[in-house]
Structure 1
Amino acid sequence: MTAKVLIVEDQEDIGSLIAVNLESLNLQTVHCRDGLQGYLEAQKNQYDAIILDIMLPGMEGLEVCQKLRQEANYTPILMLTAKKSEADRVVGLEVGADDYLTKPFSVRELQARIKALLRRVAFHENTQTNNHTEDLLRFDDLTIDIQKRKILRNDMNINVTAKEFDLLLYMARHPGTVYTREQLLNAVWGYQHDGYEHTVNSHINRLRSKLEEDSTKPKFVLTVWGVGYKFYDS
């Protein structure tokens, strides 16, 4: 089946350029020219990836991304930004974006980033199919429902973002294994985010605040001083 990509970009020339070059990869595209229209389109129809500009009329890209993630829409999102500061990029990642690209960008890099996102989706789907018996991970009173992407503690649902879930699941599949920040960043966010290890720290802190009875004495998400983090060392 041909993959579908939603392009949310208010500049007609840039949107058309992206569409033409994605269609050359045999991808289907839909182009929305304001944030609200893009948000509604992503709600209504299923896409394999979303290319989302930050500066948009109607609704800014960061808000679109944040709202979709709050609604459990985990479609991979590539943010486009004219802003070059590290803080702007980090904000994009922390509201749930999977990747970012700074304008002006090369067509080849755009194509490479989209292909990488689509490969990641395909790998995740194949992993789920091949490991269909691994539906639940249980650690004392904590349950991770992999298929439904839900986390429960004492049978109460814990709301987490897409990246928080991915980070927790990656560590929980290998309890007791110690990971450096760089390893977690590369595994969950991808190699292109080298240098943003503090993004891992902020996600770890948010997970603790949601999972732990006392975040100052964590039981599940543990720090290994001078190295990194591990999950639940029983």
Structure 2
Amino acid sequence: MRVKGKRILVVDDEPPIQRILRRNLTVGGYEVLVAESGKQAVEMVKLHQPDLVLLDICLPGGMDGVDVCVQVRQFTQTPIIVLSAVAEEKQKIKALDYGADDYLTKPFSNDELQARVRACLRRASTKEATNEREPEVLTSEDGYLYMDVVRRQVRAGSQEVRLTPTEFELLRQLMLYAGKVLTHRTLLRAVWGPEYGEEADYLRVYVRQLRLKVESEPSRPKYIVTEPGIGYVFRSQGESQNP
């Protein structure tokens, strides 16, 4: 029985890190579980169904954080925040490619951890009220991209696309305001929350992941188009432009 709100699974093999994360998250009102290996993490996600996973990239036992992302995404869309050192940049990007929702670069403060956890849980929640004036289905004018907001389904052409909660909300915002340029600040605050606004580089990482999933030619995007120095715009008719 949950008595302290949302349940978070911490996956890390270093006891000092485990203790710090457990203490800080418990103080924040979360129920905390701990796994020390990738194999144990996958088993605990299946057994305990956490609301969020904090996942270290480097794990012992032959299954790293990327492998955990791949296996977990086969049966659940539970949000995953990857914990990564700067030297693990390529692994961090690979983890995002395979389904991680967010990342934290070590070392990080407790305030940043709490903010990222709150934002990720907020994005993943399906219980938040939906604005009745917003459409339940969003499509590009040429029919290539289709989003069912209620069922949380996305198609690109004839293929169903599996998006993380973060990617889904980012695409929803872009399609909802098709043809309008959305600034970096506007997108960051709409998708990640009011704590964000200046992380343009951070946003670019997620736009890249989204393009890889929904654009037929991600290097020459037709739908999610960059407005240099400003932000992004969704071109509903699929107009080819430079990224």
Asked if 1:136 corresponds to 2:137, the answer is yes
Q: In the alignment, is the contact (CA less than 8 A) between 2:119 and 2:192 conserved in 1?
A: no
How far apart are 1:91 and its partner, in Å? Answer: 4.1
Asked if 1:151 corresponds to 2:157, the answer is no
Q: How many residues align?
A: 227
How far apart are 1:51 and its partner, in Å? Answer: 0.8
Q: Distance in 1 between matches of 2:179 and 2:221?
A: 17
Q: Distance in 1 between matches of 2:88 and 2:203?
A: 16
Secondary structure of the corresponding residue to residue 215 of structure 2:
helix
Superposed, which structure 2 residues align to 1:120-199 within 5 Å?
120-122=123-125, 125-128=127-130, 131=132, 134-140=135-141, 141=143, 142-152=145-155, 156-162=158-164, 163-181=166-184, 183-185=186-188, 187-188=190-191, 191=196, 193-199=199-205
Report what 1:33 is aligned to.
36
User: Are the structure 2 counterparts of residues 216 and 114 from structure 1 closer, same or farther at C-alpha, using a change threshold of 3 Å?
Assistant: closer
Higher-helix-fraction structure: 1
Report what 2:215 is aligned to.
209
Q: Distance in 2 between matches of 1:217 and 1:108?
A: 36
Superposed, which structure 2 residues align to 1:55-94 within 5 Å?
55-58=58-61, 59-69=63-73, 71=74, 73-84=76-87, 87=90, 89-94=92-97
Q: Which amino acid aligns with 1:125?
A: K
RMSD: 3.5
Per-residue Cα deviation, 1:64-120 (whole angstroms, up to 9, x for no partner): 224434x37332222222335655544444443333333344444433432333344
How far apart are 1:36 and its partner, in Å? Answer: 1.6
Which contiguous aligned blocks of 4+ residues in structure 1 show a shift greater than 6 angstroms? none
Q: In the alignment, is the contact (CA less than 8 A) between 1:135 and 1:147 conserved in 2?
A: yes
Q: In the alignment, is the contact (CA less than 8 A) between 1:224 and 1:230 conserved in 2?
A: yes
TM-score (norm 1): 0.75
Q: Which amino acid aligns with 1:80?
A: L
Q: Distance in 2 between matches of 1:27 and 1:152?
A: 35
Report what 2:119 is aligned to.
116
How far apart are 1:20 and its partner, in Å? Answer: 2.4
Secondary structure of the corresponding residue to residue 146 of structure 2:
strand
Report what 2:26 is aligned to.
23
Q: In the alignment, is the contact (CA less than 8 A) between 1:179 and 1:228 conserved in 2?
A: yes
Point out where structure 2 has 5 or more consecutive residues left out of the alignment: 238-243
User: Are the structure 2 counterparts of residues 73 and 194 from structure 1 closer, same or farther at C-alpha, using a change threshold of 3 Å?
Assistant: farther
Q: Distance in 1 between matches of 2:200 and 2:230?
A: 17
How far apart are 1:225 and its partner, in Å? Answer: 6.3
How far apart are 1:216 and its partner, in Å? Answer: 5.2
Q: Distance in 2 between matches of 1:135 and 1:49?
A: 26
User: Are the structure 2 counterparts of residues 216 and 98 from structure 1 closer, same or farther at C-alpha, using a change threshold of 3 Å?
Assistant: closer
TM-score (norm 2): 0.73
Identity rate, percent: 33
How far apart are 1:52 and its partner, in Å? Answer: 0.7
User: Are the structure 2 counterparts of residues 143 and 194 from structure 1 closer, same or farther at C-alpha, using a change threshold of 3 Å?
Assistant: closer
How far apart are 1:169 and its partner, in Å? Answer: 1.4
Q: Distance in 1 between matches of 2:128 and 2:207?
A: 29
Report what 2:241 is aligned to.
none
